[in-house]
């Protein structure tokens, strides 16, 4: 019972800080940052696997949080909203990173290690993956290339686990058909 009261008290405190920050209080926003930056960092570190990227995600997340604070509707907990911002930032970074890999890669095997595939076939396969519909391509890359689970993809992309599985199935089916 006391844990429930403590949780409610913390949410009330967070709500007060949000309201104060909406009124322009930088000190209140600093309190929100102090309370949540570690959780965002740990989440980003788990998802990116990189300390540097996680730190950048935290910075970008709280800049966007400040910029969009007026759109927080308190329909969910504040941290849930902040985490969704962090997820979107990581997805955007992944898209940019993958676009650079596609452009910079001269050999398909650098991106997708495939045994017994010659260079021409590698380029063809790379082009086929690039031509997949965006949703299917993103899920395919996140799951089959980056190694994220459907639960992680669901959190990062803001889609249902079933949608992630369906998009992966679609991507694989399209690739098989084109191969």
Which domains are delineated in the chain?
1-83 (1.10.1740.10), 105-179 (1.10.10.10)
What pLDDT score does 149 carry?
A: 85
Rounded to two decimals, the pTM is 0.55
How much helix, strand and coil, in percent to the nearest 5, is found in the chain? 80, 0, 20
For 23, list phi and psi in degrees, rounded to 5: -85, 0
The first and second tokens of residue 113, run together, are 């290690």
> Rounded distance, CA 70 to CA 140, Å?
35
> Rounded distance, CA 134 to CA 138, Å?
6
Q: Which residue has the tokens 């079933």?
A: 162
What pLDDT score does 31 carry?
A: 94
pLDDT tens-digit series, residues 40-90: 998 888 877 789 999 999 999 999 999 999 999 888 789 889 988 998 898
pLDDT tens-digit series, residues 94-137: 777 766 555 554 444 444 454 455 566 666 777 788 788 878 88
């Amino acid at each position: 019972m006391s844990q429930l009261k403590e949780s409610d008290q913390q949410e009330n405190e967070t709500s007060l800080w949000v309201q104060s920050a909406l009124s322009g209080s930088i000190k209140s926003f600093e309190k929100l940052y102090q309370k949540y930056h570690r959780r965002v960092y740990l989440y980003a570190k788990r998802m990116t696997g990189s300390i540097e990227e996680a730190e950048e995600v935290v910075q970008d997340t709280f800049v966007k949080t400040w910029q969009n604070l007026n759109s927080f509707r308190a329909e969910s907990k504040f941290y849930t909203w902040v985490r969704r911002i962090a997820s979107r930032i990581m997805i955007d970074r992944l898209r940019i990173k993958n676009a650079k890999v596609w452009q910079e890669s001269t050999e398909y095997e650098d991106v997708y290690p495939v045994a017994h595939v010659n260079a021409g076939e590698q380029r063809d396969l790379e082009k086929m993956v690039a031509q997949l519909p965006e949703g299917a391509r993103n899920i395919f890359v996140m799951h089959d290339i980056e190694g994220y689970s459907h639960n992680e993809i669901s959190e990062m992309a803001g889609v249902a686990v079933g949608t992630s599985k369906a998009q992966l199935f679609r991507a694989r089916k399209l690739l098989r058909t084109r191969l």
